[in-house]
Chain A
Amino acid sequence: MTSPAKADTDVVVPPRPRPRRGVSLLDAGPPIALVVIFAVFAALSSDFRTVGNVQNILDAAAVLAVVACGITFVLMMGSIDLSVPGVMGASAIAVALLVANNRNDNAWGLLGILVAVLLGAGLGCVSGMALVSLRVPSFMTTLGVSAVGLGVATLMFAGVQPNITDEMLRGWAVNRFLGLAYLTWIAVACVLVGWLIQRYSRLGRYAYAIGGAEEVLSLSGVKVAPYKVAVFTLAGAFYGLAGVMVTSQLSAGLVQAGKGYDFAAITAAVVGGTLLTGGRGGVLHSAVGVLLVTVLTNGLVQVGVSPYWQGGVQGLIVVAAVSAAVLPQRRRNQVTK
């Protein structure tokens, strides 16, 4: 029997932290799936495997990529954001009315774009404030903010469609650099910025931590609430930029600019490996998810499936991906609401 004194002197050597071997399925699965799906469609359709079509896919992914950047931060916290259609609609109309257009004499140019992005950030901030101060679950606050955004957009729309004549904004969708539209490069920049924020800023790291274990974070003295509001604001700014991009593509401001993007972005994030429970995934995961969703959409149309199925396919993917992600935790006695 060892005496207590001896036990004290015994040095317990902690097992050496071993680096994880390989990459987990969650991280490696989506890129593999992307390659496989791409190969399958390339084999099935001769129109699919052209350079022009690959350019099309990347250009088509631009807006979704920006939306997905924003929503990823919210999902990382374990919250959800359904406010995309409203925020994008409001910023799309706002930018159309602020740059040179056929409705008024404004010609604010870049400043107009900035204001539209700020409007998006403001609406995102409202979602965050309602979540934090009224303590209403995020899917309800963002559903409400989406309705508010659509209402604001309809008020600004005022029955006459604003067509933009601003050359710079219209050029974004038309002019190409290295074979890709300017909008696509903007999306690439957004993914990069999003990744830097997620990786190197306190905001991104705390977003992870909030999703992982919020109690622990607040018990260690971090004031969680301001970071939550900031994440929703950041997400709103991304949606605002996405609304501007849609306006650039259509050369007109539409209230329905963001219709369907909420669900497509959630699909992309989930498929990319960002869990709805929070704490996992990230901007790069979602970017892969965006490419997956866009390749699937494009490929199905090329193969001859009706484009109306698009939403249905996304719905199936979300349900499948989420159920696959919760599969390891099935045996735990946890409550699913």
Chain B
Amino acid sequence: MSTPVITEPASNPAAEPAVVTGAPTAAQRVTSFMPVIALVALLAALTIADPDFLTQRSLTAAVRTSAPLVVLAAGATLVVLCGGIDLSIAALCSLSTVFFAMWLPDLGGLTILVAVAAAGAIGAVQGIAHVVLRIPSFVVTLGGMSIFSAVALVISDAGPIRVIDRDATGWLNLYVAGYLPMSFFVALLVVAVISLIIKLTPLESFVRATGYSESAARLAGTPVDAVKVAAFTVSGACAGLAAVMLASRNFSGSPTMADNLLLPAVAAIVVGGTAITGGHGSLWRSLAGALVVTLLRVGLPIVGVPSAWEQILYGAIIVAAVALTLDRSKVLIIK
């Protein structure tokens, strides 16, 4: 027999029509609305626990505290979308509060721009180190975290620096239309502008391709390295902006001011449903995630849970949310 007839395998594809995932399944649709559902459920639960919670005043206060977290999470989301992770955002944010407080007397109103630019440049350096030296992003940013903390401690002499000139950031403490805190408005603006830029340019496909399959993207001619460096730059700049918000709220800069924001920011990203494996997700999701995290933080004392549980909750939420959103088809071996 020169030509063996292979009937079985040949008929198989015909019997089973190739599964083209067109419309998302019901379960997928529910998970994609998860952050919004969680947000509404949390609001409802808190209102039942304390009817005074759903007032304009307390909501305004909650939204105002969430602003730096929203900005931090939005920036880091870009890195996660590219398939990496930025663990240095909180330390970079602390360092930027020190920069801001130190430079304010000399530079005045320009300080905001300079601080954001400096943080962006530091982020870019991390991105370049990641791309050129080919070190995993979490190692680079873990090292960065350590370095930034050290620099912040040294230049500030390990103490807070008071912000005396309050005019430069006074506008951040105003209210838009009397209700919406300016800092949150700026945070929304940042999310909207970055999302729009990504949406209206080829960047969206670049970022997604890099996140979903870096080697395929590289072969298809996507400027993968440039996209990654840009993502780290934006992440750094966002950390700088968050630092300006924090410094304007606390009237000081300190080398450890934002250090406890790392976990909430990572939680915000993964609770929003952005897959840690990259590709899937958006900045708007992180906005919803940041609001969920803030509501948890504000809400726990209202329900009467000691604040020590906050940490435990963050830990559990991060693991659970990553487990739900992980793209398992991509990583065969989980390290």
Contact = CB atoms under 8 A, between A and B. Distances in A.
Interface in A129-185: 130-131, 134-141, 143-152, 154-155, 157
Nearest to A262: B142
B326 A151 contact: no
B193 interface: no
Contact of A318 (B143, B154, B323, B326): B143
In the complex, which range does the number of interface residues on chain B fall in? 35 or more
Contacts of B144: 315
B158 interface: yes
Nearest to B157: A308
A144 B308 contact: no
Nearest to A333: B215
Interface stretch (B199-207, B289-297, B311-319): B311-319
A266 interface: yes
A336 B278 CA distance: 13
B171 interface: no
Nearest to A140: B322
A130 B143 contact: no
B135 A322 contact: yes
A77 B263 contact: no
Interface in A297-337: 306, 308-316, 318-319, 322-323, 326, 329-330, 333-337
B311 A315 contact: no
B137 to A, nearest CB: 6
Contacts of B319: 130, 134, 136, 140-141, 144-145
B329 to A, nearest CB: 12
A86 B306 CA distance: 18
A297 B286 CA distance: 39
A303 to B, nearest CB: 15
A319 B148 CA distance: 13
A147 B262 CA distance: 11
Contacts of A135: 323, 326, 328, 334
A266 B314 CA distance: 24
Contact of A278 (B137, B314, B318, B335): B335
Nearest to A134: B323
B318 A147 contact: yes
Interface stretch (B15-23, B48-56, B126-134): B126-134
A260 B147 CA distance: 12
Contact of A319 (B143, B326, B328, B332): B143
30 contacts: A86-B315, A130-B323, A136-B323, A136-B334, A137-B276, A137-B326, A137-B331, A140-B319, A141-B319, A145-B315, A145-B319, A147-B311, A147-B312, A151-B308, A151-B310, A151-B313, A157-B308, A215-B332, A266-B142, A308-B150, A311-B150, A313-B150, A315-B143, A316-B143, A322-B136, A323-B135, A336-B130, A337-B83, A337-B136, A337-B137
Most buried by A among B83, B154, B311, B332: B311
Interface of A: 77-80, 86, 130-131, 134-141, 143-152, 154-155, 157, 214-215, 263, 266, 276, 278, 306, 308-316, 318-319, 322-323, 326, 329-330, 333-337
Given A309-B154, A311-B150, A154 B326 contact: no
Contacts of B310: 151
A263 B134 contact: no
Contacts of A138: 334-335
Interface of B: 83-85, 129-130, 133-140, 142-147, 149-151, 153-154, 158, 214-215, 263, 266, 270, 276, 278, 306, 308-320, 322-323, 326, 328, 331-335
B306 A322 contact: no
- 8 nearest A-B pairs in the assembled complex, by CB-CB distance: A312-B150, A151-B311, A147-B315, A151-B312, A315-B146, A154-B308, A308-B153, A148-B315
Contacts of A78: 335
Given A144-B315, A336-B136, A337-B83, A215 B333 contact: yes
A151 B143 CA distance: 25
Given A138-B335, A140-B270, A263-B146, 9 more contacts: A130-B319, A135-B334, A137-B322, A144-B316, A148-B315, A308-B158, A315-B150, A316-B143, A319-B133
A215 B331 CA distance: 12
A141 B143 CA distance: 20
Given A135-B323, A136-B319, A143-B318, A336 B147 contact: no
B159 to A, nearest CB: 11
Contacts of B315: 86, 143-149, 151
B139 A322 contact: yes
Contact of B142 (A140, A263, A313): A263
B335 A155 contact: no
